[in-house]
Amino acid sequence: MEITEITRSEEARLERYRDRMQSTSPRAPREVRQIMTVTPAAAERIAAIFESRDKDKPSFGIRIGVRGGGCNGMSYTLEFADELELMDETILVGDTKILIDPKAAMFLIGTEMDYETDFMKSGFLFRNPNEKGRCGCGNSFNV
């Protein structure tokens, strides 16, 4: 038997597959949800950060990621992104692009990014439903 020959059982299997593919209707489009949401307060603060940045160093957006470390195992990172990388997820908030590091995406699903100002501190706050624990200072978490 040559390699290009198809046996009768394989041919029948292929025919059943073709019939099944033709008889099924295409799936209805489903809603694509963003990996994370950004509150208006966080969006406003990100826009203010971009406004205050040196105009000689234009940025594509801000990249959010997760790195190992901190007193509870992992911590969030924010940095200016000079360019869009291949697998970055993008969230558009106003004129600002928020990029999600692909290595961090699975840890950030469902997260809400907020900005809070308090008597003692101000900063970005991540409400992450995947967190199993958070350190006392609030800078690191575990999943």
Amino acid identity, position 133: G
Q: Which residue has the higher pLDDT, 118 or 28?
A: 118
- Per-residue pLDDT at 1: 44
CATH number of 36-142: 2.60.300.12
- The domain ranges of the chain are 36-142
Indicate whether 120 pLDDT > 50: yes
Please tell me the total number of residues recorded for the chain in this structure.
143
Least confident range of 77-81, 101-105, 108-112, 138-142: 138-142
Please classify residue 19 by burial: count the beta carbons closer than 10 Å to its beta carbon, then call 0-12 exposed, 13-18 middle and 19+ buried: exposed
* Residue 35 exposure: Cα atoms within 13 Å on the Cβ side: 20
Model pLDDT for residues 31-50, shown as the tens digit of each residue: 556 788 889 999 899 888 88
- Per-residue pLDDT at 47: 87
- Residues 61-70 have a mean pLDDT of 84
